[in-house]
A and B are shown apart, each in its own frame.
Chain A
Amino acid sequence: MSRGKLIAAYLFGSAGRGQIDDLSDLDILAIVENNQGKVAEVAVTQLIPGQYAHLKPSISWYGAARVIEMFRNGELFAWHLYQESVPLFDPSGLLVKLGQPAVYKDSLQDMLSFRSILQGIPTQVQNSSVNAAYEAGLVYICMRNIAMAASWLLCEKPDFSRYSIFHLEGMRRCPISIEEFDITMHCRMASQRGYEPPVEATALFIFDIYGRLDPWFDELEALVIRKTNEAKHA
């Protein structure tokens, strides 16, 4: 039996932003005492207010030390929590006490990490076109995370919203349509939640959008490198 103790619980993601829609799940951060294991999920889910009862909870478990470390390191997830978390259970005011995370310094590195995954997708699709829906979902994850990381440098504040890729400033608009973006998002939902994969998610669809995205990401990468260098010398 777990000896875990719940220290705090917060909503984050679309609920934290107040942008719940039909595609939202309920992202919950559960912070537990270090090295004592989790607590029963019901101890967290019973904290969910009635207005969110129709949403499927997705609980992320963290030890308190790891949360503190993320804030000290200035990790993007710490900024996500800092900007968009809503307390469900927070007797000690944990995140408020942690205050603003350190400066996020890995924007370029995080972008390159997801770019590397993205660049591997055409070969994967070429070799296994039967996985097209899964790979299209990965395109969504890469677009979204590259945009979140880049938004640190290009926007007034980090943008964690679903359509952040269309909000980046200082460069031309992302060259795919909202409809195409939504198809990739629905593919990700199929991978995560078991929804029927969209029929549009074919190998040709992926090659088509990738062909437009890749040069655009080259431009974005060049801009982020320039902004990173400017920040270093500021």
Chain B
Amino acid sequence: MKPNTRRTRFENRVGLEREFLTQINQKFGKTAPLAGMTRDAIDAWQTRAQKARGGEAVELIHNLLIEVSTRAELIADHSRDVFDRDGHSTASSLDDLRVLLAKTISAV
């Protein structure tokens, strides 16, 4: 059986989510882990991170994550996304946000 090389919408989503979760959780993972990239998950992370560490940076990071999530269409997570075969990648359009996020996190 040949390995399946089909890239689904879901696989693209997972790749992007892992990238941004890793960035956040390397700094916050032990006290306030980010568990996902939907609006609800990012908002809940902000609450946990504010309690754990406080500071303006958390709000700034929250806003950047929401922008990433909106731009990459991760903001909502629908059941049907898992089924959908039409993968598309928005990874390259996030480069400016990647830089901003890395700068903000490194300052925490």
Contacts and interface: CB of A to CB of B under 8 A. Distances in A.
B106 interface: no
Q: How large is the interface on B (under 10, 10 to 19, 20 to 34, 35 or more residues)?
A: 35 or more
Do most interface residues of chain B lie in helix, strand or loop, or is the interface mixed?
Answer: helix
A147 interface: no
Interface in B70-108: 76-85
Given A75-B85, A77-B84, A193 B79 contact: no
A134 interface: yes
A184 interface: no
Interface in B1-52: 1, 3-4, 6, 8, 10-11, 14, 17-18, 21-22, 25-26, 29-30, 33, 35-36, 38, 40-45, 48
A197 B38 contact: no
A77 B35 CA distance: 26
Interface in A65-100: 75-77, 80
Contacts of A113: 4, 6, 8, 11
A195 B1 CA distance: 39
A80 B83 contact: yes
Nearest to B6: A113
B36 A191 contact: yes
Interface of B: 1, 3-4, 6, 8, 10-11, 14, 17-18, 21-22, 25-26, 29-30, 33, 35-36, 38, 40-45, 48, 76-85
Given A134-B21, A141-B10, A194-B36, 19 more contacts: A12-B79, A27-B80, A58-B76, A58-B79, A60-B80, A80-B83, A128-B18, A130-B22, A130-B25, A130-B30, A133-B35, A134-B35, A134-B36, A191-B17, A192-B36, A193-B38, A193-B40, A194-B42, A196-B44
Which 9 residue pairs across A and B have the least CB separation, nearest first? A130-B29, A194-B44, A191-B36, A194-B40, A130-B25, A77-B83, A190-B35, A60-B80, A112-B4
25 contacts: A58-B76, A60-B80, A60-B81, A75-B85, A77-B83, A77-B84, A109-B6, A112-B4, A116-B4, A117-B10, A117-B14, A128-B22, A130-B25, A130-B26, A130-B30, A134-B21, A134-B36, A138-B14, A141-B82, A190-B35, A190-B41, A190-B44, A194-B41, A196-B44, A197-B35
